[in-house]
Amino acid sequence: MTFTQTAPQLANPYLTDRVLQSAMRRMLPHALFEHFHEQANELGQAVADELYPRQLRERLLEPVHTPFDAWGQRVDEIELTPMWQTMPALTARYGLVWHGYDGAKGVHARLFQFGLVYLCTAGNEFWSCPLAMTDGAARALIESGNERLLRRALPHLTSRDAATLWTSGQWMTETSGGSDVGGTETRAVPGENGQWRAFGRKWFTSAATSEVALLLARPEGNPPGTAGLALYYCEPRDAAGRLRHIVVDRLKDKLGSRKLPTAELQLEGAPVELVGEPRHGVRMIAPVLNQTRLWNAFAALSYFRRGLQLLRDYARRRQVFGKPLALQPLHHQTLAGLQAEFEAGLHLALHVAELMGKNELGALDERHRLLLRLLIPIAKLLTARQAVAGISEVIEGFGGAGYIEDTGLPALLRDVQVFSIWEGTTDVLSLDALKVLRADSVWSAVHASMVSLLGQAGGEGEGDSAALRQTLERAHAACDSAAGEAQARGIALSIGRCFALALLLRHAAWSLRAEGDRRPLLAARRFAAHGIDRMQAEDPTAARLLATDELE
């Protein structure tokens, strides 16, 4: 009988996640931590026992769009995969959106919610995408103060009953591009009773099956550019489930996230309603962007952790050169590096969730509000880059098996790539961060926050404090220089790595004291050794010549 390798197994991702457990123990009040522990344990068990085996079983299934019925009638039906059909029940049961709005959890509501989101996202086949937009829509409606829409939609968007739960889409991207939203061509024409009609083509509408959507359109007569756009609310289907003056051209043929029905839509007079004033649509949809970007960070980390968890399990089962891979010193180096990146990234995302929870209850001063505004795009872009690089390494860690489709592993690599693209690419988010940084008071918030974090890290942070200070000073100088735009990615990544390291050091000091665990400190040392300064050495002219490959 020839040798047969046993497959990696996925244990409860919560019970095996030292980093999440330890962070939550420090960050949540004791009673709330107990509650989180119980919920996370149950959800983690569902991921291991039900969702993961189902992901493997349904690997090849995809949503199907049927444009016409047998008689030529336009129907635009979208049949979801069986797993997707069970997701409203999972959402309601674990309150994946609801927890974020649960007043009883006070400023910890977001931390609690995102802890659960992180645990289940790698197991829910991008169902987290419509949930992120649902959360964002709820937030945007709250911030708009539109009482009618709040009464109508908020109870559904935050429902704990699968029968009444609604999800929301976000229709922004058009053929002119996803980054430069000012070029939006969709028009809105006023009709009767406060209703408007929208005409245009939406090119990337994730989760075309959602019950509501927020979209940008230009009210007729408004000027071009971002300021002339307005934010609209749409209920795409009538009571019988038929689309209302909307045609689904096709579902996107994507590299990954293939269970997610991302569609191209034609709006042919779709009934829509103004959310606020008939202008400043980007400003009004910004809460959706901020919310979904934080979801994106936790989603990227969820995938990164899924890869690490499977690889760690595999290393115990896999014998090479006479002993398990888990006992090979070179493999230790590879896994340790991945673990350090993951660990720092998770502390950054959790910190942002904590700030968000405080902000929503008015518990942040102006300095910390600015810091939150800055750290959302930075956490999104840093964790996405970490996850893309990390999962590539994970796939390699499996050797040839990682390259074989029916192990389920290659899908991780395809799926994770989207996190650095949607909701703003690394470069677009770096430019967003640069805009924020160029407001003077943000830098004072950055520096003050770093001093505070290092103070809390105590002796554990002493060795790194000079490097952290110098890196932030270099980023500050680059930001203020004429070459700031060309340096934006390096600036954003460096600030992200500085915060991730300082947060990890602070946690390490606590963990040594409270848990007698020195692993967070080892992770911090390792992360610091990977470097925190990501500023580009290349001057802009040299970069232009190399980028275009043209003669001077």
Interaction of residue 172 with ligand MFK, rule CB under 6 A: yes
| Comparison of 200 and 424: residue with beta carbon closer to ligand MFK | 424
Please tell me whether residue 183 binds ligand MFK under the rule CB under 6 A: no
147-181 burial, b if ≥16 CB within 10 A, otherwise e? eebeebbbebbbbbeeeebbbbbbbbbbeeebeeb
Residue in 10, 28, 132, 370 binding ligand MFK, rule: CB under 6 A: 132
Count of residues making up the chain: 552
Which CB atom, from 182 or from 256, has the smaller least distance to ligand MFK? 182
What is the maximum span of the chain, computed from C-alpha positions, in angstroms?
77
Of the two residues 158 and 206, which places its CB atom closer to ligand MFK in the complex?
206
- Based on the shown chain and the rule CB under 6 A, indicate whether residue 142 belongs to the binding site for ligand MFK: no
Of the CA atoms within 13 Å of residue 253, those in its CB half-sphere come to 0
Q: Which stretch binds ligand MFK (CB under 6 A): 174-182, 323-331, 353-361, 529-537?
A: 174-182
Residue 424 in the binding site for ligand MFK (CB under 6 A): yes
Distance CA 539, CA 536 (A): 8
Of 134, 206, 383, 494, the one binding ligand MFK (CB under 6 A) is 206
Determine the residue type at 545.
L
- 186 near ligand MFK, judged by CB under 6 A: no
Query: Of the two residues 132 and 475, which places its CB atom closer to ligand MFK in the complex?
Result: 132
Helix, strand, or coil (residue 408): coil
The residue range among 17-25, 166-174, 495-503, 532-540 that interacts with ligand MFK, by the rule CB under 6 A, is 166-174
Task: Identify residues 111-130 at the interface with ligand MFK (CB under 6 A).
Answer: 126, 128-129
Give the three-state DSSP class for 174.
strand
Q: Taking the complex as a whole, how short is the minimal distance between the CB of residue 59 and ligand MFK, in angstroms? A: 19
Beta bridge partners of 168: 212
User: What residues are paired with 537 via a beta bridge?
Assistant: none
Piece of the chain touching ligand MFK by CB under 6 A; list 88-96, 177-185, 347-355, 500-508: 177-185
In the bound complex, what is the minimum distance in angstroms from residue 488's beta carbon to ligand MFK? 12
Minimum CB–partner distance for residue 286 and ligand MFK (Å): 3
Decide: helix, strand or coil at residue 470: helix
Name the CA radius of gyration of the chain, rounded. Answer: 24
Question: Amino acid letter at 261?
Answer: P
170 binds ligand MFK (CB under 6 A): yes
341 is a contact residue toward ligand MFK (CB under 6 A): no
Residue in 433, 459, 463 with CA at minimum distance from that of residue 446: 433
Instruction: Judge whether 499 and 540 are in contact, CB under 8 Å.
Output: no
Contact 31, 354 (CB under 8 A): no
Residue 433, CB half-sphere, CA atoms under 13 Å: how many?
36
Question: Residue 181 CB, nearest distance to ligand MFK (Å)?
Answer: 4
Per CB under 6 A, does 12 bind ligand MFK? no
Cα distance between residue 362 and residue 367, in whole Å:
13
Instruction: Give the separation between CA 49 and CA 42, rounded to whole angstroms.
Output: 10
Residue 526, CA distances (Å) to 338, 378, 519, 523 in order = 10, 21, 10, 5
| 422: helix, strand or coil | coil
User: Which CB, 181 or 413, lies closer to ligand MFK?
Assistant: 181
Buried b (16+ CB within 10 A) or exposed e, 21-51: bbbbbebbeeebbeebbebbeebbebbbeeb
Tokens 């518990």 correspond to what residue? 363
Q: Which of 33, 314, 422, 499 binds ligand MFK (CB under 6 A)?
A: 422
User: CB of 424: closest distance to ligand MFK in angstroms?
Assistant: 4
**What is the closest distance, in whole angstroms, from the C-beta atom of residue 326 to ligand MFK in the complex?**
31
From residue 468, how far is each of 124, 473, 496, 532, 544 by CA, in Å? 37, 9, 11, 8, 30
Q: Which is nearer to ligand MFK, 313 or 432 (CB)?
A: 432
> 215 to 244, contacts with ligand MFK by CB under 6 A?
226
Q: Which is nearer to ligand MFK, 420 or 511 (CB)?
A: 420
Q: For residue 432, state whether it binds ligand MFK (rule: CB under 6 A).
A: yes
Q: Does residue 182 interact with ligand MFK by CB under 6 A?
A: yes
Residue among 296 and 511 whose Cβ is closer to ligand MFK: 296
Binding residues for ligand MFK restricted to 274-333, rule: CB under 6 A: 280, 282-283, 286, 289-290, 292, 295-296, 299
423 binds ligand MFK (CB under 6 A): yes
Q: Which stretch binds ligand MFK (CB under 6 A): 175-183, 265-273, 303-311, 453-461?
A: 175-183
Write out the residues near ligand MFK by the rule CB under 6 A.
Answer: 126, 128-129, 132-133, 170, 172-173, 178-179, 181-182, 206, 226, 280, 282-283, 286, 289-290, 292, 295-296, 299, 373, 422-424, 428, 432
